C-alpha cells in the first residue's frame, strides 16, 4: 500500500510539472482529488487493509491528500504569476514624457491657500512644522490648560479611538511639542486636518483644516498679534479686508479673542455662509496662557507669546467665493476643476 501511495505522489508531481494552463490544472485536480480520483480511491481502499494497519495507512493517505492540495495550489499561483508576466510584457508601451491630451489636474483650493500662507509666514520668519492627526489626551487638552472634566471639552465633540488616543480637534494640539522642540524665542506655524463630531451646514464640517501659529519672545503683545494677522490677510486677498476683534474664551490663551473677517461671499450683507451676520469667524487667537508656556518648558515670567488657529477651510471659502464648506470634501470634479494648479 505504501508503494502505491508513493507511486501516486510521484505521478502527480510529473503531471503538475507539465501543466501550462488553468484548464489542464483543473483536470489534474479532478483526476487526483475528485470523487473518483486516485487519492479518493485510496481512501476507499482502506476497507481491505488489515485492522491493525488502518490507522497508519489512513494517516499516510491523508498526508498524501494534504501534499496534493498544497502542490496544486502552488501550481495555481505559478500559473497566475506567469499570466501576469505575459500581460505585462505584451502591454502597449508608451512614452510617459509625451504631453497629455486630457485636461490638466489642479491642486485642491485648500492646498493652494495653505501653500500661499506658508510662503507668507515663511517670509516673516516662521518655520513650517508638521504634526500627526492622531494624538493623545495630554497634547490635545491637558497641555493646553484643559484638564479632565473641563467644560471646554464638551465644545470639542471629540472622536476618541479604542486605544485611548483621539483625532485631534484643533491644531493647537501641536503647541506643546513645538515648544519642547524649539524653546524660546520661536516663530512657527503648523497646518493640519482636524476632526469634530458635529452637524454639517454651509459653514461647518466634521473634517476641516486649520493652521496653528505661535510667536514667543520677550515683550510680545496683542499689537504683534494684530499686525501679523492683518499682514497675512492683506497678502492673501490682495486688498484691504475688514476685520473685527472681539473677546473670546479659550483656556489656552489669556486674554482670548475671535478674529472675524467681513464675509467675502455676500460682501457683509448676510448669507447662509456667515449665518446672515455679515461676518465669518476665521481665527480664534490670543496671548498664550502662562500655564501652557510652563507645560512647554518656557518661563512665563521671562517670555510671552501669542497663538492663533486660522481656519484654512473658511479662508479658502472667502478667497475663492465658495458658499458651502461641504463642497471641499464632496469630491465633485466639476466644482474643483476651476482651480488652476500652481
140-171 pLDDT per residue, tens = 999 999 988 877 677 668 899 999 899 999 99
In this prediction, residue 57 carries a pLDDT of 77
E strand or H helix that includes residue 160:
none
In this prediction, residue 140 carries a pLDDT of 92
In this prediction, residue 342 carries a pLDDT of 45
DSSP class of residue 46 equals G
Q: What mean pLDDT do residues 277-288 have?
A: 86
Which stretches of the chain are DSSP H helices?
2-17, 22-33, 38-44, 51-90, 109-123, 137-140, 175-182, 222-237, 290-295, 312-320, 333-336
Give phi and psi for 44, each to the nearest 5: -65, -30
Judge contact between 309 and 230, C-beta under 8 A.
no
User: Residue 29 CB: number of other CB atoms within 10 A?
Assistant: 17
Range of lowest pLDDT (163-167, 186-190, 220-224, 261-265): 261-265
Distance (Å, rounded) from C-alpha 321 to C-alpha 314?
10
Peptide bond into 185 cis (omega under 30): yes
Judge contact between 186 and 125, C-beta under 8 A.
no
Cα torsion 181, 185, 187, 192: sign:
positive
Strands 207-217 and 304-311: antiparallel
Give phi and psi for 85, each to the nearest 5: -65, -40
Distance (Å, rounded) from C-alpha 282 to C-alpha 309?
8
**Model confidence at 139: pLDDT above 70:** yes
User: What count of residues does the chain have?
Assistant: 342
Distance (Å, rounded) from C-alpha 25 to C-alpha 144?
65
pLDDT tens digit sequence for 116-137: 999 999 999 999 999 999 999 9
Distance (Å, rounded) from C-alpha 48 to C-alpha 62?
17
pTM: 0.62
**Model confidence at 38: pLDDT above 80:** yes
pLDDT tens digit sequence for 1-20: 677 778 888 888 888 888 88
Nearby residues of 105 by Cβ (< 8 Å), 6 or more positions away? 341
Distances (CA, A) of 21 to 54, 78, 79, 338: 37, 10, 7, 50
Peptide bond into 328 cis (omega under 30): no
Instruction: Look at the block and give the residue holding cell 500655564.
Output: 291
Q: What mean pLDDT do residues 19-48 have?
A: 82
Distance (Å, rounded) from C-alpha 325 to C-alpha 259?
19
Q: What mean pLDDT do residues 27-46 have?
A: 82
pLDDT tens digit sequence for 165-190: 999 999 999 999 999 999 999 999 99
DSSP string covering 161-187: -TTS-EE-SSGGGGHHHHHHHH-SSEE
| CATH class of the structural domain 109-336 | alpha beta
Q: Which three cell numbers stand for residue 143?
A: 497641555
Q: How far is CA 120 from the centre of its chain?
A: 25
CA atoms within 13 A on the CB side of 333: 3
**Model confidence at 341: pLDDT above 60:** no
Q: What mean pLDDT do residues 110-118 have?
A: 91
Task: To the nearest 10°, report the CA torsion of 275, 111, 334, 206.
Answer: -50
Q: Which three cell numbers stand for residue 115?
A: 501653500
Amino acid at each position: 500500500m505504501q508503494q502505491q501511495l508513493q507511486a501516486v505522489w510521484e505521478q502527480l508531481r510529473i503531471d503538475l510539472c507539465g501543466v501550462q494552463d488553468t484548464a489542464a490544472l483543473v483536470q489534474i485536480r479532478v483526476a487526483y482529488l475528485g470523487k473518483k480520483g486516485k487519492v479518493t480511491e485510496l481512501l476507499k481502499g482502506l476497507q481491505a487493509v488489515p485492522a491493525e494497519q488502518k490507522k497508519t495507512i489512513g494517516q499516510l493517505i491523508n498526508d498524501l491528500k494534504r501534499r496534493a492540495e498544497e502542490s496544486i495550489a502552488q501550481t495555481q499561483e505559478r500559473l497566475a504569476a506567469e499570466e501576469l508576466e505575459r500581460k505585462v510584457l505584451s502591454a502597449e508601451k508608451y512614452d510617459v514624457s509625451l504631453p497629455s491630451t486630457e485636461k490638466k489636474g489642479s491642486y485642491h483650493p485648500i492646498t493652494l491657500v495653505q501653500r500661499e500662507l506658508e510662503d507668507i509666514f515663511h517670509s516673516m520668519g516662521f518655520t513650517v512644522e508638521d504634526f500627526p492627526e492622531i494624538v493623545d489626551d495630554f497634547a490635545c487638552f491637558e497641555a493646553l490648560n484643559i484638564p479632565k472634566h473641563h467644560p471646554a471639552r464638551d465644545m470639542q465633540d471629540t472622536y476618541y479611538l479604542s486605544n485611548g488616543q483621539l483625532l485631534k480637534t484643533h491644531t493647537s494640539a501641536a503647541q506643546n511639542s513645538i515648544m519642547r522642540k524649539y524653546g524660546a524665542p520661536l516663530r512657527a506655524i503648523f497646518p493640519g486636518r482636524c476632526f469634530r463630531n458635529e452637524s454639517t451646514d454651509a459653514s461647518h464640517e466634521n473634517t476641516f483644516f486649520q493652521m496653528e501659529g505661535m510667536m514667543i519672545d520677550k515683550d510680545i503683545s496683542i499689537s504683534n498679534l494684530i499686525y501679523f494677522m492683518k499682514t497675512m490677510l492683506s497678502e492673501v486677498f490682495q486688498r484691504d479686508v475688514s476685520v473685527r476683534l472681539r473677546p473670546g474664551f479659550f483656556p489656552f490663551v489669556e486674554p482670548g479673542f475671535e478674529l472675524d473677517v467681513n464675509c467675502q461671499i455676500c460682501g457683509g450683507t448676510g448669507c447662509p455662509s456667515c449665518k446672515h451676520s455679515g461676518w465669518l469667524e476665521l481665527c480664534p487667537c490670543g496671548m498664550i496662557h502662562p500655564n501652557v508656556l510652563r507645560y512647554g518648558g518656557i518661563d512665563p515670567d521671562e517670555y510671552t507669546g501669542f497663538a492663533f488657529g486660522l481656519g484654512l477651510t473658511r479662508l479658502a471659502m472667502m478667497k475663492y467665493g465658495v458658499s458651502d464648506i461641504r463642497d471641499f470634501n464632496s469630491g465633485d470634479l466639476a466644482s474643483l476643476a476651476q482651480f488652476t494648479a500652481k
